[in-house]
Amino acid sequence: MTRTNVGISSGGQPGLDRFISQKETRASNASNLLLDHLPDEVRNRLSGQLTPISLSRGQIIHKPGDKIRALHFPTTCIISVMVTMRDGRTVEAGAIGSREVVGINAFMGAREITQTEYVVQLSGQAIKIEANSMKTEFDRNTEMRDVMLRYMQAFIAQISQNVACNRLHDTDQRFARWLLEVRDRVQSDEFPLTHSFMAETLGIRRASVTDAATKLKKLQVIETKRGKIRIKHLQDLEKVSCECYVALKKEYDRLLG
C-alpha cells in the first residue's frame, strides 16, 4: 500500500478521484451515525465548525506519537487502524467509517496516538472538526458524553470480534464479512477495491483474495470490474459471511441505534 503523509487535503489517484466525482450526489446525502446522534444543542453550537473534506487512499491521518488536533467523522470513506510489525508487515486492527470517528481519545484523557496508525483505505468524504471544540462539548454535555462512551464500547467490540474472526474463520467467510462492513461504512453497494489492497488489509495472500472473489463471482453475489467491486445480492453475501458480521451489527444497533 502506498502511503502519503499529506494530512487532509483533497487529491489522490485519478481513477479514484473520478469515482468520487461520479458519486457527488450520494456523498452530499451521506451522513455519520455519531454526528446524527449528537444532541441538537451541541450540533447547533458546532455547526459552523464542521468542515466537509475529501480524503484519498494512502493519506495518513495520524501516526504513532502524533498529537490529535482534529477529529474526523467519515461519511463515505474508510480509515483503517493499522498495526505494523518490526518486519514491515501490516494488518488492520479495526475499520472506521460512517458509524465511527477518528481521534476520540483526544477528549478522553490522551492526546497522543500510541502504536497504531490511521490510514485512509478507501477514498471518500468526511467531516472534520477541531478536537478542542469537541472536548468542550464532551465535558459539559452529559448526553453527548453518553453517545461517545457507547461508541467506544461498540468499537472495542469490533476489535474483539476481529481477533476472534481472524483466528477462527476461513478466508471466504472473512472476505464476505469484510465486504459487508465496507458496504455499511461507505453507504454504497459499489466501491473501488484492488485485490492487493484487500489482501493487505485482511492479512492474507493476494491469491487467497482472488480465490474468494472468484467464488463469489461464480455465485453471482458480486461483480468486479477495473478495480471496483459491486455487491449484487446482499442476502446471499450475508449467507457466505461468518457470524461476526451479524453479531457486530447487532451490538452497534444495540448501543447506538
Q: In CATH, what number is assigned to the domain containing residue 197?
A: 1.10.10.10
Residue 131 binned pLDDT confidence (cut-offs 50, 70, 90): very high
Residues 181 and 112 in one domain: no
145 falls within a domain: no
How far is residue 222's CA from residue 182's CA, in Å, rounded to a whole number? 14
Pick from 44-48, 82-86, 222-226: least confident: 82-86
CATH of residue 48's domain is 2.60.120.10
Last residue of a domain, one of 138, 155, 175: 138
Residue 20 binned pLDDT confidence (cut-offs 50, 70, 90): very low
Instruction: Look at the chain and report how many structural domains it folds into.
Output: 2
160 falls within a domain: no
Beta strands in the chain (DSSP E): 51-55, 60-62, 70-74, 78-84, 90-96, 116-122, 124-130, 190-192, 222-225, 228-231
Domain that holds residue 100: 14-138
120 falls within a domain: yes
Residues 37 and 133 in one domain: yes
Last residue of a domain, one of 138, 159, 193: 138
Residues 117 and 228 in one domain: no
Position 9 pLDDT exceeds 60: no
Residues 27 and 102 in one domain: yes
Residues 123 and 58 in one domain: yes
Three-class DSSP labels, 114-148: CCEEEEEEECEEEEEEEHHHHHHHHHHCHHHHHHH
How far is residue 176's CA from residue 28's CA, in Å, rounded to a whole number? 28
Q: What is the mean pLDDT of the segment spanning 157-179?
A: 93
CB 215 within 8 A of CB 207: no
Q: Using DSSP, state whether 155 is helix, strand or coil.
A: helix
| Of 156, 177, 149, residue with least CA distance to 243 | 177
Residues 79 and 124 in one domain: yes
Last residue of a domain, one of 119, 138, 157: 138
88, 121, 16, 216: CA torsion to nearest 10: 100
7 falls within a domain: no
Distance from chain centroid for Cα 2:
18
| Of 110, 124, 135, residue with least CA distance to 54 | 124
pLDDT for 29 equals 60
pLDDT for 6 equals 34
Residue 19 binned pLDDT confidence (cut-offs 50, 70, 90): very low
Residues 107 and 201 in one domain: no
pLDDT for 114 equals 63
Residues 184 and 74 in one domain: no
CA triple 38-178-105, angle to 5 deg = 40
Global pTM reads: 0.82
221 falls within a domain: yes
Residues 89 and 185 in one domain: no
Residue % of the chain over a pLDDT of 70: 86
Residues 235 and 187 in one domain: yes
Residues 107 and 212 in one domain: no
CB 91 within 8 A of CB 82: yes
| Of 162, 131, 170, residue with least CA distance to 148 | 131
Residues 114 and 191 in one domain: no
